[in-house]
Structure 1
Amino acid sequence: MLPDQCTTTMKVLVTGASGFLGGRLCHFLLSHGHSVRAFVRPTSDVSALPSPSDDVALEFAYGDVTNYPSLLAACSGCHAVYHAAAIVESWLPDPSKFFDVNVGGLKNLLRVVKETGTIKKIVYTSSFFALGSTDGYIADESQMHSAKSFCTEYEKAKTIADNIALEAARQGVPIVIVCPGVMYGPGKISAGNILARTLIERFNGRLPGYIGNGNDRFSFSHVDDVANGHIQAMEKGQPGQRYLLTGENASFTQVFDIAADITNTKRSWINIPLFVIELYGWLSVLFCIITGKLPLISPPVVYCLRHQWAYSCDKARRELNYKPRNLTQGLQDILPWLKKSGFIKY
């Protein structure tokens, strides 16, 4: 627990501040009265963040988590760090980037904490992928990834980073680990907001049916609930502990049906086999190699869909007062926003 600053105000650094989660987290921290330093790359799109002014306690620090001097400078004068910087993609032409950012960035931050001695607490954004799949059951924070196989390089990198964070905690580093589910909500349409991207494909007719046979199961969490969970983790979370900031466990078939009911549109009537989606994924990868445009669907996405990723957030409810909305409530929020923003029609 930080000294009184946790329940009043403090100066915090947010890495990955231009991302889907990082941006929402900055807004929430500012609304709680905190002074925020947003750590972004010089080329980052920061249009979703408020402009620094006398009325907004926000400042920008430029650099990269893979660049130690820039991260060290960004931490100067801060009491706490929300480490949300990550590459969130299912596939990249150069997989080493997953490890440079998702693993190397955390290592650099831990080195900064030891060198400066001024950071009192870290909330590290891990991932449900770091706990491993849950085929046929619901897991909690005690599950450790078997590390025998990985669906994606992202999953592998986040698992390695999760272990590094746990080891750092055992060595006395004041780090709290939070593991969001499949995040979604109004905001940046990116790989971190994959459900929004999938709904766009669905309502624009590019995804004409259900994905597979509906055996997939994911834990969906609204980005605003996750952002609130991060703030509660800073105030109430115990160093060395993991907290699952997940939500309702459901399949994409259920998501599509709920979305159809909310929008008064027809439900899908066909199922697209996963082998067809995997073939499309390989074609998308080939297209990426030619054009440089990252694919929405890639074979690793299909590998994930062949498993279940269902989790319980009971621990976060008890210890952090985490209050996730259900999937229907979340979709009632994002679907009108997607329509108003011009991404979908219904």
Structure 2
Amino acid sequence: MNTIRNLKSAFVTGATGLLGNNLVRELVTRGFAVKALVRSPAKAQQQFAGLPGVELVLGDMADVPAFASALQGCDVVFHTAAFFRDNYKGGSHWPALKRINVDGTQQLIEHAYRAGIRCFIQTSSIAVLNGEPGTPIDETCLRKLADADDYYRSKILADQAVLAFLTQHPDLHASLVLPGWMWGPADIGPTSSGQFVNDVLLGKLPGLVPGSFSVVDARDVAKAHIAAAEHGQRGERYLAAGRHMTMRELVPLLGRIAGVKTPTRDLPLPLLFILAAVQELYARISGKPVLLSLATVRLMRKEAGRSHFNHAKSERELKLTFRPLEQTVADTIAWYRSHGWLKAAANSTQ
């Protein structure tokens, strides 16, 4: 139970993403040599300029064989890359979800094993779990494929691919880390959380949408990944979901920390369905991305109250802890302000 793996070099997919870049920084701090898989050299230079110990590898999870040779010499793969956000921008994205999230994961673990790597950490998601609203959900509460939207289904199948490969290769260690809705600094994408922060602070949120979330700091999720690699148990899932929050709690918290006014009225679900339908129609005509998709509204309705998670296993086996959410929100806002994203909001600061 107390196995400590001596790992010195890491390969990180999705390295410029919110989780990936914070994981790279944490690994460097701990003395790891890091190979960082990136799709955009310009974005990578922006994200990692001046950070020692990082070798950039240009590549894409849609074509794993093209970068597979770079896996040589690494002790562990941290697979954080995934196709996610576009799935909630209208239309059907299953071919891309399967190619990148499912087939890409399968190919990555195969090539990693051929390269001599014997430790693989899969970034899963709370999406693979399900439970009754308001009840604590742990790693045993697996979601059925029939109850999954396309993104959720892709994450379930990706996890299954990792675990199936594990059963065929007894000398390989693999664990799965299940993050919640990740927030944190250096979110240059931005991800959905970073976009949400910007929308709220720039006054673009017309009202409070229904739903609840499990909010977690990406830096804490990064530490959970490293702990899973160094002493996690083979084939086990570890929750790193964070703190349960409703939108009615989260938006005012953002406003208080940022010093800006935030909306107080609720937007009813039927209105959101209408707005999303109009958005998708406009998107098909104009070619512009939607702000709110039908897939997002359906997800809000379906997952309402299903964001209470029990971290006992991760706390026990990974010694996982979470920093205060207020610190995460403050650090996220501070990063955007210091990088010039929130100039319009400065005029509203109290």
* Change over 3 Å in CA distance of 1:101–1:133 after alignment to 2: farther
Quote the Cα distance in structure 1 between the aligned partners of 2:271 and 2:111.
47
Match of residue 318, structure 1, among 309, 316, 319? 316
Quote the Cα distance in structure 1 between the aligned partners of 2:6 and 2:72.
17
The TM-score, its normalising length taken from structure 1, stands at: 0.88
| Secondary structure in structure 2 of the residue aligned to 1:59 | strand
| Pairwise CA distance, 1:92 | 5.7
| Secondary structure in structure 2 of the residue aligned to 1:122 | strand
Match of residue 148, structure 1, among 146, 149, 162? 146
| Secondary structure in structure 2 of the residue aligned to 1:304 | helix
* Change over 3 Å in CA distance of 1:244–1:259 after alignment to 2: same
Matched, 1:108 2:107: yes
Match of residue 340, structure 1, among 323, 338, 346? 338
* Change over 3 Å in CA distance of 1:139–1:60 after alignment to 2: same
Aligned-partner residue type, residue 132 of structure 1: N
Q: Does the 8 A contact of 1:132 with 1:309 survive in 2? A: no
Match of residue 130, structure 2, among 107, 110, 132? 132
* Change over 3 Å in CA distance of 1:231–1:114 after alignment to 2: closer
Residue 41 (structure 1) aligns with: 39
Aligned-partner residue type, residue 23 of structure 2: L
Identity of aligned residues (%): 27
Residue 183 (structure 1) aligns with: 182
| Pairwise CA distance, 1:160 | 1.4
Deviations 1:13-71 (A, max 9, x none): 1111122211111111111110001112256721343247xx81111222222323224
Q: Does the 8 A contact of 1:84 with 1:124 survive in 2? A: yes
RMSD: 2.4
Q: Does the 8 A contact of 2:5 with 2:229 survive in 1? A: no
Residue 74 (structure 1) aligns with: 70
Residue 56 (structure 1) aligns with: 52
Q: Does the 8 A contact of 2:89 with 2:291 survive in 1? A: no
* Change over 3 Å in CA distance of 1:134–1:2 after alignment to 2: same
Deviations 1:99-133 (A, max 9, x none): 111101111012213433x1020111011101135
- Equivalent residues in 2 for 1:223-242 (5 A)? 223-242=218-237
Residue 20 (structure 2) aligns with: 22
The TM-score, its normalising length taken from structure 2, stands at: 0.87
Aligned-partner residue type, residue 100 of structure 2: V
| Secondary structure in structure 1 of the residue aligned to 2:45 | coil
Residue 238 (structure 2) aligns with: 243
* Change over 3 Å in CA distance of 1:134–1:40 after alignment to 2: farther
Residue 5 (structure 1) aligns with: 6
* Change over 3 Å in CA distance of 1:257–1:160 after alignment to 2: same
Q: Does the 8 A contact of 2:182 with 2:216 survive in 1? A: yes
Q: Which runs of 5+ in 1 are unaligned?
A: none
* Change over 3 Å in CA distance of 1:208–1:66 after alignment to 2: closer
Aligned pairs, number = 335
Quote the Cα distance in structure 1 between the aligned partners of 2:167 and 2:142.
16
Q: Does the 8 A contact of 2:41 with 2:58 survive in 1? A: no
Deviations 1:167-223 (A, max 9, x none): 2333334211001100011222446x32221122122222122113xxx22111011
| Secondary structure in structure 2 of the residue aligned to 1:56 | coil
Quote the Cα distance in structure 2 between the aligned partners of 1:296 and 1:316.
35
| Secondary structure in structure 2 of the residue aligned to 1:47 | helix
Quote the Cα distance in structure 1 between the aligned partners of 2:82 and 2:270.
29
Quote the Cα distance in structure 2 between the aligned partners of 1:337 and 1:134.
36
Q: Which runs of 5+ in 2 are unaligned?
A: none
Match of residue 162, structure 2, among 149, 160, 165? 165
Aligned-partner residue type, residue 143 of structure 1: C
Residue 199 (structure 1) aligns with: 197
Residue 86 (structure 1) aligns with: 82
Quote the Cα distance in structure 1 between the aligned partners of 2:291 and 2:131.
22
| Secondary structure in structure 1 of the residue aligned to 2:48 | coil
Aligned-partner residue type, residue 22 of structure 1: G
Matched, 1:300 2:295: yes
* Change over 3 Å in CA distance of 1:51–1:133 after alignment to 2: same
Q: Does the 8 A contact of 2:205 with 2:263 survive in 1? A: no
Residue 219 (structure 1) aligns with: 214
Deviations 1:138-168 (A, max 9, x none): 2011111122222x42111111112222323
